[in-house]
Structure 1
């Protein structure tokens, strides 16, 4: 049995479109010691492939970080499987807020040095000494109090389309940049109550431990992240303090939390919060683009990329196109949480 996908993008899209059932998107993570990540990875791939699961899963000695698409008729079997795997037992699941069932095209399970690329040396601090985990309601109430500092631990392209109203949103493109920057910028406020949040909670686990290591005395984190917060706030009938869209690392690129549109098209400046990847594969830059500019530039992020894309399309017709494997590798290289 092959333990990886061998279909190209076109075949994968056709397969998904042909499905007669619905899927649900779920994310989860767990910091847990995994003795043999490669063996664990293979076991997961076999089990989830049989359940027709798609998604992107990272496995490391320190744990697992997963975003997945699960067929509705296999959800019970999927959850039952998690419960019989010791490393995954009782793992908290975060189901998508806004879901079209088409978040992923295939199943990718990879062994990585870490489940989040943080650039930190774990041996120099206690990674288990994390901040206080706050329920969504606790976070909601505390975030409104004077003197409390709310920090968005996501990248700037995420916070650009949605964030908590009073949050500090650092201008960074990667998490490894942010953990260092936040500690530096808040040096004079180590005794203040600090609330951290991210998409599902995984980045705050490491960030809170890093801040405590640097002397911050009252570090707290939103347990379950923005996804859990949105579900709980809706159930409680409370107005969301998170406005706009929650960026997600799958083909949806975002889920609507409130009707607020707080960002603008990167090309014309029109009010817009739709993320797209530049259609010119060698670039594949993530930008916010309105419908008019998407049509004008054929989904490219700039006039330069549009020209190159047009020329590449002409070469493609002569059989000189980039291979699907090369294109996929470029897309994968852009994923950074």
Structure 2
């Protein structure tokens, strides 16, 4: 039984081009008790491979968190397969605002301790005692209440390119950092403020709302389905979007446009820009915002040192990367000392 990818990303991209069929990008999550996550993972992989599913999926004893793409023609069969598991039956699939056939180029299903790294001890509070889910129109009404605090539960590199008007956007690199910061920031308002939370697809708010209720907050609300579902509802109901800019996504697209507002700036020249990229030097791979002019001048790199590296033969680049890890820095964009402002 095949349980791992047999093709490289480049080989898969070529096959997608040759197939010439529309692919859908979507995400979903479910909190559920999974007794044997490894067996669950090994059951999913071959079945999803048959449906040409590609993506990044995390499974744990607490459930599943999936971001993936698949041919549009296979969506019904995919839903049918999900329905074979009671905890995923009729689950809401957050379909992307913008599609890209190459949003994912591999199927990766990993067993993790948790489906979201929140740093919480779930045994210390009731994780099922969550906040009230609000649809787009209800969310707008709650935003208008002067006693409401709108909280962005995403990281700084996500909120920098797009966020709800007037939202509190913590300057954090990981979800787990934001929880104690928000708790301390609002500790005097646990009784009299409405906590109105949102994230990309809803999964972070699901756990955060239970945590804040445990911490003593009385009025806790969350955006149903996150920014992705909110955008669908806004379009379907003819509402004005209170979310401005881009929605950052964790696939090859790195973002999907919600409104035409550009609220971020190139990290190298300061020009209005909200295009994320990873440094072309694979030994760095830093995530940052770069305008087309700087991309051309810097060869897609974050600094002069990286630019000089990418000019070397590939074998020399591989030698320089050998034994080094860069994952700790990748998402610290805008904070890296390697970035500079050129005026």
Unaligned runs of 5+ in 1: none
Per-residue deviation, 1:144: 2.0
2:201 is matched with 200
Say if 2:292 is the partner of 1:291.
Answer: yes
CA RMSD of aligned residues (A): 2.1
Alignment of 1:68-217 (within 5 A): 68-191=68-191, 192-217=193-218
Structure 2 residue runs without a partner (length 5+)? 333-343
Give distance in 2, aligned partners of 1:228 and 1:211: 23
Q: 1:147 to 1:289 in 2, by over 3 A?
A: same
1:258-315, CA deviations, whole angstroms, 9 ceiling, x for partnerless residues? 0000000000101000001111112111101101111111111122221233236472
The structure-2 alpha-carbon separation of the partners of 1:52 and 1:277, relative to structure 1 and needing over 3 Å to count, comes to same
What residue is the counterpart of 1:241 in the other structure?
Answer: 242
Q: Deviations over 1:94-140 (max 9, x none)?
A: 00011122210011111000000111111111111111111122112
**Is the aligned partner of 1:62 residue 2:69?**
no
CA distance in 2, matches of 1:188, 1:286: 36
Deviates more, 1:83-92 or 1:165-174: 83-92
| Structure 1 contact 312–321 (Cα < 8 Å) conserved | no
The structure-2 alpha-carbon separation of the partners of 1:179 and 1:36, relative to structure 1 and needing over 3 Å to count, comes to same
Contact 1:158 1:246 in 2 (8 A): yes
Q: 2:33 corresponds to which residue?
A: 33
Residue 45 (1) aligns with residue 45 (2): yes
TM-score between both structures, scaled by the size of structure 1: 0.93
Q: Distance between the aligned counterparts of 2:272 and 2:206, measured in 1?
A: 34
Which runs of 4 or more aligned residues in structure 1 lie more than 4 Å from their structure 2 counterparts after TM superposition?
319-323, 329-336
SS of residue paired to 1:272: coil
Q: Secondary structure at the match of 1:265?
A: coil
SS in 2 for 1:108: strand
